[in-house]
Structure 1
């Protein structure tokens, strides 16, 4: 066998066997209204939670027709890939706070942290990290801080 083909084949096998690229999907289980989240890749594993229809997950890795996911609640577990629908995700989010027109950017994930400054409706942010309902973002100005994900839209 040509050495170049062998090396290319070996790299392809490593790529296919490795963890899946993180992808955002929606739970698509309208009949039951939920999808079970399990401790391992199969129905024989314990159920650790239920993910509501339409909720979002990030795929972390795959094993056959099962995927390990991080649910938008922060819980990590396994579910059947059959009941997930891929989402077209923009890397940018926009501030949407209809009550007062701005969202506070904070030094940490919670209201007990100091306010860095306001972000106004329509301004753009990129999510860098998640901690429950709080996200660390880079504001369009370049400032990095934390805000509630409830007031961000794609």
Structure 2
């Protein structure tokens, strides 16, 4: 085998490896948004002429799965899909409770005191993270930590 052929194969392998790594990273990248008004309709299509599916409250987190003009196609924590108007959204991190009832703790871990509870579907403002724990603020203003596996969002 000649040196140039060997170099060519090595470069091809390098480019293939780089492509696979970048593809995996892109697949892991999620564009999350949140509702930035008191109430926003999630619709069946990318127009105000399309029927509303339901109304989403401020902060509700959504995963962007597509875009058409000024409209985002989105998915929620229950895997329901619809469309929201982009100017009514923001990049403010929020989570939603995906378990029936969760403990809000004074610190990031089960050894910390329970300072409150949150219920399924409740929208929480995300304040920070530490390992697998998320620091949140409830709509009532209470601040605490919840295990990330019990939440969906950022």
TM-score band, normalised by shorter chain? 0.3 to 0.5
TM-score in terms of structure 1 length? 0.45
Structure with max Cα Rg: 2
